[in-house]
Structure 1
Amino acid sequence: MPGYPLIADHGLLGDLQTAALVATDGSIDWFCAPRFDSPSVFGALLDHDRGGHCRVRPTVEVFTSKQLYLPDTAVLVTRFLTEAGVGEVVDFMPVTGATAAVDRHHIVRMVRCVRGRMTFALDIAPRFDYGREPHETHLTESGVVFHGARTAMTVHLIREPDDERLASIRVDAGDVHAEFALEAGQTRGILLETGAAGPIQEVRVDAAWRLHDGTVAFWRNWLSRSTYTGRWREMLNRSAITLKLMTYAPTGGLVAAPTAALPEQIGGERNWDYRYTWVRDASFSVYSLLGMGFTDEAAALGRWLRDRVDEQTDVKNGGGPLNIMYRVDGSTDLTEEVLEHWEGYRGSAPVHIGNGAAGQLQLDIYGEALDSIYAADRHGITAGHHGWLRIRDLVDWVAENWDQPEEGIWETRGGRQDFTYGRLMCWVALDRGIRLATAHGRPAPLERWHRERDAVYNQIMDRGWSPTRRAFRQHYASDVLDSSLLRMSTVGFITPTDPMWTSTLAAMDGELVTDSLVYRYDPEASPDGLRGSEGTFSLCTFAYVDSLARAGRLEKARETFEKMLTYANHLGLYSEEVALTGEQLGNFPQAFTHLALVDAAITLDKRLDRAGR
């Protein structure tokens, strides 16, 4: 469908409270404010005509564009090459900090000509509240104010004192269009400020450069804390910055992705809102951040998890004491609705905002939460007495409730099943609870926890193993394979060289793996309540690398990892899935994918070092 860039043709900006996507054509076509999970200001990514955008590009029809990040930063440079010259748009968001949530957020767009001359076109077309909130536009010589009933945005011009007014500036149906010509060495631009309806203040070029230098310094200082020195430093640095960009600093919560409703299949209905914090993703991220030395971020995520445990100990509606996901501030209002007036990315409707899976029972989150708490404890981030009482309550709940059907890790909408992965992570929850209590001499019903842990183990070995497939299966009523079970050896349930495990890996090799890429499961063999198909799941591919490395299949692990690196976009970013054509699909960028990349690289590095390779 014309008008839509590829999902992978984007870079990510952020200020640690919200984020924006910038396409290679110079368009900001996704931006929500004041938070990741707030309504959109620009949403052309989900409706090219009605979504809204802010675009800067050459006026000529023929040009080539390139994108890069300034090394070790989140400052994005989009370069335009024409016959007359070379121009750049330097985009960044000054970091807001973690002290409190703020309503005002800034995107700086510095436009400069570096060779020859270039005339740029500027189009600013906000569409507040997913295009549902009309606005008025007020234009002055120093900038523009867009004012809706509940939302406002001010655009301050970046220019020199002796500049003339922008040429050909006009307002058309509430949108602003302008052109300006630059010669080599000249810099101009705009500063977008959301949450403000004026006053308009011109920004001098040197002041904009100071904001730029401060943002560069922040990211380089932050990244200097990394302890990773392995073989894939550049890729892991980019993944670390990406994970940081998706962290809501006031609470420490990590969104699964900064986008909503990007499809898992073009034209399909698997279009979900990922702008929330999953207990699962947050738990996995603790491992990844600790593995790279980012203990402050891991501790913040640990506090976020403990806050959720503190807040919800009452079981309601047959669920558990934890929701599977929350808003970034920890609230639970994730009511799902469909934006009927938007066509969806390349016609992929419905466009969902909110997430109806929030109330599902997914037993695995308890194991992931306890595993991350245990990992943090081993790094000196230990819960106090009050925290331990809540942890004990959580483990007690698992001991009482592990043996029941649930929806599973993939949030299927086809009904509850006895998922093997959910049982596996219940075993982890009980095991980590036992280890924490024993390590610190904490009061706990250890005899009961031991009994239930062993019962989970025996059930998985009895009912989770398929004698026909010679492999562990997705759930007890099916022989379908499921790549979530790649974590069985990672969490210590089974040794990586156990014949039952090597047989499971071999079965996955033959059914779920295609030229190094890995499917979650076969939806045709295991109906999940949704129409359509999906691509390979990038998280699962990196989990496969981790499992291969642990099993001693180092050549295969390294080859698979190196191949997977070629599926990153031009900036080293990954979405959720990879289509048969190699196109990235699903919400973008995906935290789950990047944290799995980090884990796989660290595991593979250790095994290669140990083998002297």
Structure 2
Amino acid sequence: MGDYPSIEDHGLIGDLQTAALVDTNGTIDWFCAPRFDSPSIFGALLDAEGGGFCRIRPVTDDFVTRQLYLPDTAILVTRFMTEDGVGEVVDFMPVLGSEATDQHRLVRMLRVVRGTMAFEGEIQPRFDYGRTAHEIRAGEDGTGVIFTAGDQSLTVHRVGDPVLHGTERAGTIERVGQGIRITGSLNAGETTGIVLDTGGAAPQRISPAEVEALLLGTSRYWKDWTSRSTYRGRWREMVERSAITLKLMTYAPTGALVAAPTAGLPEQVGGERNWDYRYTWVRDASFSVYALLGLGYTEEAAAFGVWLMDRIHESVRDRSGRLDIMYRVDGSSDLVEESLEHWDGYKGSRPVRIGNGAADQLQLDIFGEAMDSIFLADSNGLEVANVAWRNMAAMLDWVCDNWNQPEEGIWETRGGQKPFTYGRVMCWIALDRGIRLAQSRGRPAPIARWQEQRDAIYEQIMAKSWDADRGAFVQYEGTDVLDASLLRMPLMGLIAPMDPMWLSTLRAMDAELVSDSLVYRYNPSASPDGLRGSEGTFTMCSFWYVDALARSGRLEEAELTFEKMLTYANHLGLYSEEIGLTGEQLGNFPQAFSHLALISAAMNLDAQLDHGPGLVSPVLDLARRAAKERDGGPSWRLGGTSG
């Protein structure tokens, strides 16, 4: 087994159609193209020997590295400090438009800012998760090389003219195994580097001025985008970084948000809890509407709304209103799960899975999250088209008929279906939001039936999901297991945050699920989920806990818990899915859920600190505040291409 960097020792760059991870030693060890969910070209993060990588670093082993993002951008700088000088690798991907393309560009600009630095770069692509062999063809006059594997290709362009320093030539290329190595040295003020292109371009020499222009254009895009944020709260730097990270995980041609840009990173190192997260979960993406609207990004919220409406239309057409829980970024649902048996997995964490077998699960909560996001969008002036409303009404009729059946639940357990409380809570939300939309907009709907079923769900939750002996709402009826997903009960308005039943539930979670500021989603030993091993605390749940504390009158605890959570971010302000016992990041990285929850917790905690607990009502205040602050902004129609 080769050497693996820590999961948290990475930064993310991207062009809004795909993304790459760069570790603190200047290695790109994860890159898929042409989309997030395409086969990998660099995958050393999941197999150090056979996964493929692109590395730029000093020749000496005696160096110190630091990483940072250029302010307000997704441009990543890895700094190398040696005895002879200081060099920087500036990594970025020029942002693409909304048209899907196979042509993606990854720029790696190397410059020395002090002294002299001898460097080496090595490019070892491995196409199709290392399953497809490739050919190498050199360009004319040392301009670069092109790797081809079937209909896939990767072109390496040289940046700048060769520069002589004594007998060394900056940028000498040699063949190494299935890849190439570039070596040389630079003095302070000199720039070189490489540009990687997918899509079959011929190798060419690119001038430093051209690279500088690409850098300036990419910087301008991100600065313009971040300047649109309306957030003026206490934690602007962390909220902005989370917003940029979410934007990097959004597929611009459709507006779909992937759960993470990676696959196979383990929830327990060496264990089997390793999943492919490069897809769009209805749940995760629906949560993004709250965060995006709260930050003023109406266009992005509307784009996802159109994507979601198309999925609802398809569900009504093909399945009488039952949504799938996840889709590919283009809206297709072919997510057959398979294992890459030839890969070792991150630090031996096997199997390495691509695709996702949970795609066919029944998870009832997604209907509530979808309807809540639509309701919130509507409250912000994003008009729901007539055909889209009819599709939603058909979906809610399906909920009326099916809310009371066992399911796999929000955590996608593989231990059998259960009548999960959270699924019932969110079915209540789905019907409640549908009723409100019908009444406020005068839309046709069987409101009496929806109200009857909504109230039946409420009564069942209060009667069967409440455990009087524990003094808490539990994971599902008939068990005494606690579940952190229920932290959303007061946040969504099903129960008042000061209700004695809720305060008692929160105290039970304090005692059993909370470790310092960190929150476990449930206890796997008490609630078997069909998988071996354990897992870390769930970052999203920890931020939900912050919000629940604040709304329940425990403001000082909430603020301290939030500040503690910020210390668990990596050096760039990024979070994976989980946090381990010693503070290490676990699971796919970075995780959209984690950053969505951070943004929501920051916005809601700001409001509570400004106005006091209980003065800000759940769900609607953000929308109302944003609506009041809009100054003649655009009106969007949430109808999708299907209606």
Give the TM bin, normalised by the shorter chain.
over 0.9
Task: Give the match's secondary structure for 1:87.
Answer: strand
Q: Unaligned stretches of 5+ in structure 1?
A: none
1:250–1:25 Cα change, 3 Å: same
Counting only pairs closer than 5 Å after superposition, residues 456-471 of structure 1 correspond to structure 2 as: 456-471=457-472
Residue by residue, what CA displacement relative to the aligned partner does 1:1-35 show, whole Å, maximum 9, x if unpaired?
65100000000000000000000000000000000
Partner of 1:185: 189
Task: Give the match's secondary structure for 2:30.
Answer: strand
Partner of 2:124: 125
1:168: how far off?
4.5
Distance 1:168 1:435 in 2: 67
Contact 2:517-2:565 within 8 A present in 1 as well: yes
1:577: how far off?
0.2
Partner of 1:474: 475
Distance 2:387 2:508 in 1: 45
1:320: how far off?
6.0
Partner of 1:486: 487
1:165: how far off?
6.2
Contact 1:406-1:418 within 8 A present in 2 as well: yes
* Letter of the 1:278 counterpart: W
* Letter of the 1:451 counterpart: E
Task: Give the match's secondary structure for 1:312.
Answer: helix
* Letter of the 1:226 counterpart: S
Partner of 2:359: 358
* Letter of the 2:471 counterpart: R
Partner of 1:288: 291
* Letter of the 2:123 counterpart: I
Partner of 1:153: 154
Partner of 1:597: 598
Counting only pairs closer than 5 Å after superposition, residues 24-173 of structure 1 correspond to structure 2 as: 24-98=24-98, 100-140=99-139, 141-160=142-161, 166=170, 168-173=172-177
Distance 2:393 2:33 in 1: 38
Contact 1:484-1:520 within 8 A present in 2 as well: yes
Residue by residue, what CA displacement relative to the aligned partner does 1:113-168 show, whole Å, maximum 9, x if unpaired?
00000011100000000000100111231001001112101111110487796554
Residue by residue, what CA displacement relative to the aligned partner does 1:418-458 show, whole Å, maximum 9, x if unpaired?
00000000000000000000000000000000100000000
Task: Give the match's secondary structure for 2:384.
Answer: coil
Distance 2:18 2:289 in 1: 21
1:215 equivalent in alignment to 2:214? no
From 169, 172, 179, the counterpart of 1:175: 179
Q: Which moved more, 1:146-155 or 1:567-576?
A: 146-155
* Letter of the 2:452 counterpart: R
Q: Unaligned stretches of 5+ in structure 2?
A: 614-643
Distance 1:296 1:165 in 2: 49
1:176: how far off?
0.1
Contact 2:2-2:49 within 8 A present in 1 as well: no
Distance 1:506 1:550 in 2: 14
Distance 1:32 1:257 in 2: 13
Counting only pairs closer than 5 Å after superposition, residues 262-411 of structure 1 correspond to structure 2 as: 262-313=265-316, 321-411=322-412
Residue by residue, what CA displacement relative to the aligned partner does 1:496-536 show, whole Å, maximum 9, x if unpaired?
00000000000000000001100000000000000000000
Distance 1:561 1:217 in 2: 32
* Letter of the 2:418 counterpart: Q
Counting only pairs closer than 5 Å after superposition, residues 386-535 of structure 1 correspond to structure 2 as: 386-535=387-536
TM-score, structure 2 normalization: 0.93
Residue by residue, what CA displacement relative to the aligned partner does 1:12-67 show, whole Å, maximum 9, x if unpaired?
00000000000000000000000000000000000000000000000001100000
1:200 equivalent in alignment to 2:207? no
Distance 1:310 1:167 in 2: 54
Distance 1:481 1:494 in 2: 17
Distance 1:296 1:320 in 2: 27
| Structural RMSD (CA) | 1.3
Partner of 2:626: none
Distance 2:584 2:135 in 1: 39
Residue by residue, what CA displacement relative to the aligned partner does 1:366-417 show, whole Å, maximum 9, x if unpaired?
0000000000000000211111101111111111111100000000000100
Distance 2:345 2:137 in 1: 30
Task: Give the match's secondary structure for 1:382.
Answer: strand
TM-score, structure 1 normalization: 0.98
Contact 1:320-1:361 within 8 A present in 2 as well: no
Contact 2:64-2:81 within 8 A present in 1 as well: yes
Percent identical: 64
Distance 2:445 2:184 in 1: 70
* Letter of the 1:478 counterpart: T
Task: Give the match's secondary structure for 1:176.
Answer: strand
1:240: how far off?
0.3
* Letter of the 1:64 counterpart: V
Contact 2:169-2:185 within 8 A present in 1 as well: no
Distance 1:148 1:513 in 2: 49
1:173–1:545 Cα change, 3 Å: same
1:170: how far off?
1.0
* Letter of the 2:71 counterpart: P
Distance 2:132 2:194 in 1: 23
Distance 1:434 1:65 in 2: 56
1:548 equivalent in alignment to 2:552? no
Partner of 2:247: 244
Task: Give the match's secondary structure for 2:407.
Answer: coil
Contact 1:314-1:321 within 8 A present in 2 as well: no
Distance 1:518 1:251 in 2: 33
Distance 2:498 2:2 in 1: 51
1:386–1:314 Cα change, 3 Å: closer
Distance 2:351 2:170 in 1: 40
Contact 1:161-1:204 within 8 A present in 2 as well: no
Task: Give the match's secondary structure for 1:7.
Answer: coil
Distance 2:102 2:178 in 1: 23
Residue by residue, what CA displacement relative to the aligned partner does 1:546-601 show, whole Å, maximum 9, x if unpaired?
11111111000000000000000000000000000100000000000000000000
